[in-house]
Amino acid sequence: MNNQTEQKPDQVSRIVESGYRKYVQRRWLAIVLMPLAVLLTGFALLYGLEAANYLSGIVKGTVAAAVIISALAVLFQIVRKLPSSGFRDYYYRVSRHGGVEPLRNLLDLAGDFRSTGGKLKNAAVKQNLQLLEQVDLDEKLRKYNREAGPSALITYGLYVLMIPLIALPVLIHLHPDGLNRSLQFWKAFERPNPYTYTIDPGSTILEQGSSFQVRIDFEGDRLPGDVHLSLRTGIENRYRPQRMQKIGDNRFYSDFIELFNDLDYYVEMDGFRSEVHQLSVQLLPRFGDLVVAIDPPAYTRIEKTVINYPFSRIETYPGSTLRIKGRPNKPLDRNYLIRHTAADTLVAGSEEGLSTWAFEVSGADSLSFEMRDEYGLTNSNKFAFNLFALTDNPPIASILRPEQNKSVLNPENLEITYEVEDDFGFTGLRLRYSVVRAFGGKTESGQAALATPRDRIHLGRYNWDLTGLRLQPLDRVEYWIEVTDNDEVSGYKTARSATHVLQSASLAEYLLDQDEKEQSVSDAFDNARTEFEEMQRELDELRKNLRENPDDSWQSQRMIEDVQERSSDLSEQIQEIQKEFDELRKELEENNLLSEETLQKYNELRDLMEEIDDPELRKALEELQKSLENMDQNQLREAMQKLDFNEQTYKERLERTIELFKDLRLTADLEKTARLLEELSRQEERLMEEITNPDEQIQQQQMIRDEIDQIRDKLDKLPDVGPQKRRNMTEQLRDDVGGDLGEVSEQIEQNMQDIDDGADENQVRESQQQIQQKLQQLSEDVRSSIQSMQQEQITINVTALQAILQNLILLSESQEDINEITRRLTDNSSAFITQARKQNNISRSFSQVSDSLFRVSAEIPQFSNRINEKKAEVMRNLERAVGFQAERDRARSSAQERLSLGGINELAVMVADLLEQIQNSDGSGGGGMSAQQMLQQMQQMGKDQQQLNQQITDFINDMQGERLSQDQMERLDQMARQQNRIRRQLQQMREGGGLRPGDQMMSELQRVLEQMEDTINDLRGGSTDRILVERQQNILSRMLEAERALQERGEDDERRGETVTDFERRTPDELTLEELQQRIRSSLQDPNQTRFSQDYQRLIERYFELLQERMSRTTPVEGTR
């Protein structure tokens, strides 16, 4: 430093002062920088920890305090290390550090420059200046300042400061929200919730006492594993947690919570909390009680109805008045009833603290209530309900009887049973009709007023007198019931029943319909015969299985069950045949188409049909089944014998009934043909006298010709449908009558042509008269053929019965001889071989008589089935007698012989009685019950009828409103059988009581019989109504009137004896020869009995002679039979 040699002390001082100032600046920089570095570094540390861990306020405060304390400590150390010093201290340290003592001396001397001793001081100054010229003072100062404490601290502080300067920008970038949390170190922050969710119901207002449920729905795929609901009321200090249940993929529900106080809640999910929601409890407006009173229209006669809430719908009829009363739970500023469909708002009235409304129902509506209190709160429960207007349906009318399409011969009256029904009642009821004339095409209309019913369901009957309509054949009456209800609100409604048609049938059309019904019965018989043959085949297989596989009871049981099932089916078929036949018989009887004799045969055949389905066959099958279960061979053998017997009896009854039906059908067909020819003759006569219009005459003649053609077709089929034994007669009748009818048809065709051509009127009428006479003659010819056929059959029947009776007498004598010999034999005697041979001969002879009896039974309806049953029993006893004789068993042989003898004798009595009845019916005599006997029987029947009426009334009262059970149907069937027994007794009394033709009582009893048949049909069909009860009372009244009439007559005339049906009441087990002789002789000597024919009496006397000879030769053993 060359220039420094000339420096003065003050210049050196300025240079050092400049360095001193730099030193001081460095010291302060060191004091500030180092604590600042510590603070920033500590803040960066706190920032990082907060960003990563969301520290609590305590932790963050602690860290902040530690940083501040650290900074203060650093500051204290720096201040202590770099103490504050003056200028002197500075250049002393520089002098020592740099080894420039001259500097210290110079500056010290410079400080004393103005003091005394200046020359010395100047010399010293000068010397120090010279020494300093050797030193680079600026460099020494810079070096000291650089190497002194502040500089090192500044360098270290800068290094430390670089850490937060680098870390803080990175942290701010990565966790910008952490800056605020770190600066507010005294406050704790929560980690942000990673889930996206929606909480329901959130913050809201709920009604006090209501229940609520918190639901949280999470969005996205991220779901928490643990979800809790925390609750706290205003009086609680802590939240109460409860687990929420997961329902669905992303939805959680809490339990239902009843709310009575304000409530805060939040949802915590895997440690994260939702915001806190508030539930405020308020008492919302509502009804404490809500009552609806319904006043239906007066015409409905429905009582007032009161309904208490809750309800969602009210049903009532238009015109009803609704009165609504509600009790609010608090005072209200506004309370409205909203009628949504009617678009009307009703303001509530007030009545003793109640809100009231009233209006008339006109149709369906939706109603709700709107309430608001003084705080502006409205009701959440709208108390909404729907009002449904019920429909007063139109009335219903139906005609129950007769059927919808009915064809009647010469209808004079029509009994109509109808039923009308309405919701509430009627204002009018009438029968409307229109008559469509067959000829002329005219239509006439009219109506008849019926009594207006009082009940809403009415079953009525109207006896319609048709005589005023003057119906002719083929005229058609269309009629229906018309009814009007009482709906005065919506308007009266009228309804009508289905149209029924009554056809005034032509006789030919009617008889053709009867032919179809007869054919239906015939086909049903054929089906029943086929069914029985199938059952026989199954029985044969059963017998074969029992013979070949006696130990295979399981297979036999199955076969018996199959036979039982087929037997049940056969029984149902027979019952259906009975029903069809009875309907056919009633129609023929009602229309009086057949003679009394033929109708009597229909009645007798009906009774025989009822006897076909004998339950003994089913009982025999049941016994056979039980014997198989018990594995008892003796019981099995007896059951098989009983089954064989009943099978044969069933077969004979069925075959006999079929043959009788064929014979009866032929007779009926011939009578109907004669009746139709007679009717056509009358129509031809009416044509001549009443019809003058040519077109109507041609139409009438066309109808007559068509009906003649139908008769010819019927005659052509007659040989095929009639019995084979009548084929020759029916073929002859077909050829004779059919040929004449062909000529008549040609005459009618010519007559029609003459009318159409306008021929002379006299010529036309003469032709018509010839046609009329020819038809009348043909009718008489057919009737004559019928009488001839019947008389011939009677002769054959009498001859056959006489032969049978003679054979029975001879067989009785032979059987008596065998029995006398057997009684004298000892067991195991060789004479039993001869006896068995003789007994076998009698058995074969009786078998021929048995066959003859069956053939005769197929010709005579009066022939009782009891005769066929008895001859089957005798046949069985004879066969058993042969078996016991072959076994040389005297006791059992004698017993079976006596049983056989008694049976033969009883058969002889039955045949004798039947022969007497046939001869008497042929005009040889008469007789019957006395008036006293008729009166006693009528009194007994009256008592039985009264008891039956009471049973029916009790039954109806017990089952009203219920469906018929199986037991009730069986009870009805039992009562039907009771009524049928009374009917049969009454019919027998009417037919055999000696009442003269034309007697008024005959007609009265006939009407009673018809009413009884209606009752039987109703009971079997399950029809129990008021009409049935009224009919039963009418039956009893008529029977009582007949009883009084018999009392008044006071006659003691003896009437004719028993009818053949009484055979069923004769049940003697056995007859001795003495009893038989006494019985027949008493009958011959009785003056009240019709005497037998001479041939018959001689035959009986010869029988008695033979008996007497036998009686004189042997002494009867007492007690034998």
* Averaged pLDDT for residues 1006-1032: 83
Residue 1080 has pLDDT above 70, yes or no: no
CATH number, domain 509-669 = 1.20.120
**CA 995/CA 1002 separation, integer angstroms:** 7
CA distance 414 to 436: 17
SS3 1001: helix
pLDDT of residue 1096: 46
pLDDT tens readout for residues 505-515: 777 777 777 78
Classify strands 287-295 and 321-328 as parallel, antiparallel or unpaired.
antiparallel
CA distance 406 to 402: 7
Q: Which residue has the higher pLDDT, 553 or 1110?
A: 553
Q: What is the pLDDT of residue 31?
A: 79
Residue 110 has pLDDT above 70, yes or no: no
Instruction: Say if residue 101's pLDDT is above 50.
Output: yes
Spans of all domains in the chain:
2-183, 196-282, 287-389, 396-505, 509-669, 821-829+837-927+1064-1113, 931-1055
Rg for the chain, CA atoms, rounded: 65
From the number of C-beta atoms within 10 Å of its C-beta (0-12, 13-18, 19+), residue 634 rates as exposed
**Cα(330)–Cα(332) distance, rounded to whole angstroms?**
6
Chain centroid, CA 1069 distance in Å: 54
Mean per-residue pLDDT, 646-666: 83
What pLDDT is stored for residue 1065 in this prediction? 36
CB-neighbour burial class of residue 1017 (10 A; exposed 0-12, middle 13-18, buried 19+): middle
Alpha carbon of residue 890 to chain centroid: 68
- Relative orientation angle of helices 633-689 and 596-612, to the nearest 10 degrees: 150
Instruction: Label the pairing between strands 305-308 and 344-347.
Output: unpaired
Confidence category of residue 134, pLDDT binned at 50, 70, 90: low
Q: What value does the mean pLDDT take over residues 398-415?
A: 87
User: pLDDT > 90: what percent of the chain?
Assistant: 11
Q: What angle do CA 88, 89, 95 make, to 5 degrees?
A: 90
Question: For residues 606 and 580, is the Cβ–Cβ distance under 8 A?
Answer: no
pLDDT at 1079 over 60: no
pLDDT of res. 458: 92
The residue written with tokens 């209200």 in the block is 332
Mapping DSSP to helix (H, G, I), strand (E, B) and coil, where does residue 762 land?
Answer: helix
Q: What's the average model confidence in pLDDT over 151-165?
A: 80
How would you class 376 by CB atoms within 10 Å of its CB: exposed for 0-12, middle for 13-18, buried for 19 or more? exposed
Contact, 139 vs 19, CB < 8 A? no
Closest C-alpha among 213, 248, 209, 247 to residue 229: 213
- Report the distance separating Cα 385 and Cα 1071, nearest Å: 90
**What's the pLDDT at 397?**
94
Domain spanning 396-505: CATH 3.40.50.720: no
Q: How far is CA 324 from CA 342, 346, 360, 381, 392, in A?
A: 17, 11, 12, 17, 24
The residue written with tokens 């005294």 in the block is: 186
> Under a CB-based contact definition with an 8 Å cutoff, are residues 259 and 209 in contact?
yes
Distances from the Cα of 984 to the Cα of 667, 802, 1043, angstroms: 24, 30, 17
Average pLDDT over residues 149-174: 80
Model confidence pLDDT, tens digit, residues 273-321:
888 998 888 788 888 899 999 999 988 888 999 999 988 999 999 999 9
Least confident of 100-104, 107-111, 1090-1094: 1090-1094
Question: Quick check: 205 pLDDT over 80?
Answer: no
For residues 482 and 494, the answer to whether their CB atoms sit within 8 Å is yes
The pLDDT score that the predictor gives to residue 1075 is: 55
pLDDT of residue 998 exceeding 80, the answer is: no
The whole-number average pLDDT for the span 1089-1103 is 49
Give 499's pLDDT tier (boundaries 50, 70, 90).
Answer: very high
Asked whether the predicted pLDDT for residue 555 surpasses 50, the reply is yes
Q: Model confidence at 1069, in pLDDT bands (50, 70, 90)?
A: very low
Question: Helices 553-590 and 507-548 sit at what angle, rounded to 10 degrees?
Answer: 160
Q: How far apart are CA 243 and CA 254, in angstroms?
A: 7
Cα–Cα distance, 798 to 794 (Å, whole number): 6
Q: Is the pLDDT of residue 1051 over 70?
A: no
* Band (494; pLDDT cuts 50, 70, 90): very high
Q: Which residues face 294 on adjacent strands?
A: 305, 322
Give me the numbers of helices (H) and strands (E) for the chain, helices first please. 25, 31
Question: Which of 80-89, 413-422, 1011-1020 has maximum average pLDDT?
Answer: 413-422
Residue 241 burial (CB count, 10 A)? 11
| 622 pLDDT more than 50 | yes
Q: Can you tell me the mean pLDDT for 354-370?
A: 91
Give the residue-averaged pLDDT of 1021-1050. Answer: 82
Q: What is the pLDDT of residue 1053?
A: 44
* Type of residue numbered 460: G
Q: What is the mean pLDDT of residues 449-462?
A: 91
Confidence of residue 474 (pLDDT cuts 50, 70, 90): confident
The structure tokens listed for 90 are 């500075």
According to the model, what pLDDT value does residue 984 have?
73
287-389 architecture in CATH?
A: Sandwich (2.60)
Residue with tokens 């020359």: 119
Residue 206: CA atoms inside 13 Å, Cβ hemisphere, count?
Answer: 22
| Burial of 1088 from C-beta contacts in 10 A (0-12 / 13-18 / 19+) | exposed
Q: Give pLDDT, residue 712.
A: 86
Average pLDDT estimate for 220-236 = 87
Residues 6+ apart with CB under 8 A from 339: 345, 346, 359, 365, 366, 367
Q: Which residue has the higher pLDDT, 1113 or 1115?
A: 1113
Helix, strand, coil % (nearest 5) of the chain? 60, 15, 25
Residue 133's nearest CA partner among 23, 1, 15, 244 is 1
Q: What is the CATH topology of the domain spanning 196-282? A: Immunoglobulin-like (2.60.40)
Q: Is the pLDDT of residue 1114 over 80?
A: no
**Distances 68 to 38, 142, 169 between C-alpha atoms, Å:** 8, 34, 21
> Which pLDDT band, with edges at 50, 70 and 90, does 927 fall under?
very low
Most confident by average pLDDT, 123-137, 777-791, 1061-1075: 777-791
Mean pLDDT score of the chain? 80
Residue 956 has pLDDT above 50, yes or no: yes
How many Å apart are CA 511 and CA 669, to the nearest integer? 9
Q: In the predicted model, what is the mean pLDDT of residues 357-376?
A: 88
Average pLDDT over residues 605-610: 82
Nearest one of 1054, 856, 1047 to 936, comparing CA atoms: 1047
- The answer, yes or no, to whether residue 1088 has pLDDT greater than 60, is no
Q: Which helix (H) or strand (E) holds 349?
A: strand 349-351
How confident is the model over 246-265, as pLDDT tens digits? 888 888 999 888 888 888 99
Residue 1072 exposed, middle or buried by CB count within 10 Å (0-12, 13-18, 19+): middle
DSSP state for residue 921 in the 8-state scheme:
I
Q: Are strands 204-207 and 277-282 parallel, antiparallel or unpaired?
A: parallel
User: What's the one-letter identity of residue 327?
Assistant: R
pLDDT of 481 strictly over 90: yes
* pLDDT, tens digit, 9 for 90 and up, residues 22-48: 777 777 877 788 888 888 888 888 778
Domains 196-282 and 287-389 share a fold: yes
**Predicted TM-score of the model (pTM):** 0.48
CA distances from 853 to 116, 461, 656, 770 (A): 201, 50, 11, 49
pLDDT digits (tens, 9 = 90+) for 560-601: 888 888 888 888 888 888 888 888 888 888 777 788 888 888
The answer for residues whose C-beta is within 8 angstroms of residue 466's C-beta and 6 or more apart is 411, 412, 413, 414, 477, 502
User: pLDDT category, 925, cuts 50, 70, 90?
Assistant: very low
Summarize pLDDT for 671-703 with one digit per residue, the tens: 888 888 888 888 888 888 777 778 888 888 888
Residue range 418-423: average pLDDT?
93
pLDDT for residue 316 = 92
Separation CA 154–CA 142 (nearest Å):
15
